[in-house]
Each structure stands twice: as C-alpha cells, then as structure tokens.
Amino acid sequence: MMLGVLALAIIMVVLVDRLYGHSTLAFAAAIMMLVIANAPMLRFNCPACGKNLFFRGVLVVPWPNRICSACGHDCDSANSQNR
C-alpha cells in the first residue's frame, strides 16, 4: 500500500508541475498523503514492551520484526495482539 501511495504522490506532483507550474501545495498534499498512509505502521508495537517492530535502530524497514529486538518477545506467536 505504501508503494502505491508513494507512486500516486509522485504522479500527482509531476502532473501539477506540468499543468500548472511549480506548486508547493502539491508537495504539501503529497507529504500529507504519505503521512496518513504511514500511520498504521506506527501503531504496530510489541505487546510486551511497546517498541515499534518496524524500527531497526534509526532505520525503518517495510517489514516488522518477528522477535522484538528490545525484550525478545515472540510477536509471531498465536497469542499476539497485533493480528
């Protein structure tokens, strides 16, 4: 989904740039679309300690950890609350 929203944001900015000229409103709308599409990822936390499972230190990756890097909880188990 995130890749689709990214492609849509890029196409929107390019179309607005071609049709109406440079517009900061198109960039602002694209940024808002990406922030809204990213919101569900920020709520995917470890049920034991609350650490976000997509963060690897300072990096963010498009797939979550199966085992929490902070507390070692197996988030892929059957009793996980993230499913």
In tens, the pLDDT along 32-81 reads 999 999 888 888 888 888 888 888 888 888 888 888 888 888 888 756 45
Number of domains in the chain: 2
28 Cβ contact list (under 8 Å, min separation 6): none
User: Are 36 and 60 members of one domain?
Assistant: no
User: Are 30 and 50 members of one domain?
Assistant: no
User: Are 82 and 58 members of one domain?
Assistant: yes
Q: 10-40: string of b/e by CB count within 10 Å (b at 16+)?
A: eeebeebeeeeeeeeebeeebeeeeeebeee
Angle between the N-to-C axes of helices 2-20 and 24-42, in degrees from 0 to 180, rounded to the nearest 10 = 170
Is the pTM here over 0.95, yes or no? no
Give the pLDDT confidence score for residue 23 in this predicted structure. Answer: 84
Give the pLDDT confidence score for residue 78 in this predicted structure. Answer: 59
pLDDT digits (tens, 9 = 90+) for 9-35: 999 999 999 998 888 999 999 999 999
User: Are 26 and 50 members of one domain?
Assistant: no
